[in-house]
Amino acid sequence: MATLENAGAASSAPLMPGSARHPAHDSDPVLVVMGVSGSGKSTVAALVAERLGWDLAEGDDLHPDENVAKMAAGQPLDDDDRAPWLDTVSSWIVEHAMQGVPGVITCSALKRKYRDVLREHNVVFVYLQGSGDLIGGRMAERSGHFMPTTLLDSQVATLEPPQADERHIVVDATRTPEEEADDVLRLLGLTPVA
């Protein structure tokens, strides 16, 4: 199993401690891969989880049906819509924290108050940062996803990037998913499984 070593030593943003509501060890982190829709969260999270041999969860799969229907209709979610979804994502994180099992989960986590719901001692936010033009192009090319490109502007407007007092790293989302996954492992000092 991969371990977390020298976390944040080479990060473009400092890796800061989060709250400690549940006991956990830095060797058993949960990575929350965050960013606007189309930034590559699912692809990068899957690569990282595969390389580390960690549990993986797709946050979009945890949305209530009502949220999926609303987004598919081109309507942005509000805070009330997101609350039950964030609680479900948080439950996945807490379960892993309590069991001491590392994992990777995707979640847009656009606002700081959303990240506050998810923040546990062992959580590290992996922020995939890219331009609206780049991400819009990616969204236009993908198929089979409920999120239309028309909602990108609302996501960009909602986004509050992680701040210096939040435990996070920033990954440049303009490169290949493989390179971005390499960066996650390098910035967090994680070693892939053999």
Residue 132: per-residue pLDDT? 59
Residue 160: per-residue pLDDT? 95
pLDDT tens track for 7-38: 443 344 444 433 333 334 455 899 999 998 88
Residue 152: per-residue pLDDT? 67
Residue 174: per-residue pLDDT? 87
Residue 114: per-residue pLDDT? 96
**111 assigned to some structural domain:** yes
**10 assigned to some structural domain:** no
Three-state helix/strand/coil letters over the chain: CCCECCCCCCCCCCECCCCCCCCCCCCCCEEEEECCCCCCHHHHHHHHHHHHCCEEECHHHHCCHHHHHHHHCCCCCCHHHHHHHHHHHHHHHHHHHHHCCCEEEECCCCCHHHHHHHCCCCEEEEEEECCHHHHHHHHHHCCCCCCCHHHHHHHHHHCCCCCCCCEEEEEECCCCHHHHHHHHHHHHCECCCC
Which range marks the domain in which residue 67 is found?
30-188
Domain with residue 129: its CATH number is 3.40.50.300
Residue 19: per-residue pLDDT? 32
**16 assigned to some structural domain:** no
Specify the number of domains making up the chain. 1
Residue 150: per-residue pLDDT? 62
**48 assigned to some structural domain:** yes
**51 assigned to some structural domain:** yes
pLDDT tens track for 151-192: 767 778 888 999 999 999 999 988 899 999 999 999 999 999
**20 assigned to some structural domain:** no
**53 assigned to some structural domain:** yes
Share the mean pLDDT of the chain. Answer: 81
pLDDT band at 87 (very low <50, low <70, confident <90, very high): very high
**193 assigned to some structural domain:** no
pLDDT tens track for 112-163: 999 999 998 899 999 999 865 666 555 555 555 445 556 767 778 888 999 9
Q: Is 95 exposed, middle or buried (0-12, 13-18, 19+ CB in 10 A)?
A: middle
Residue 17: per-residue pLDDT? 37
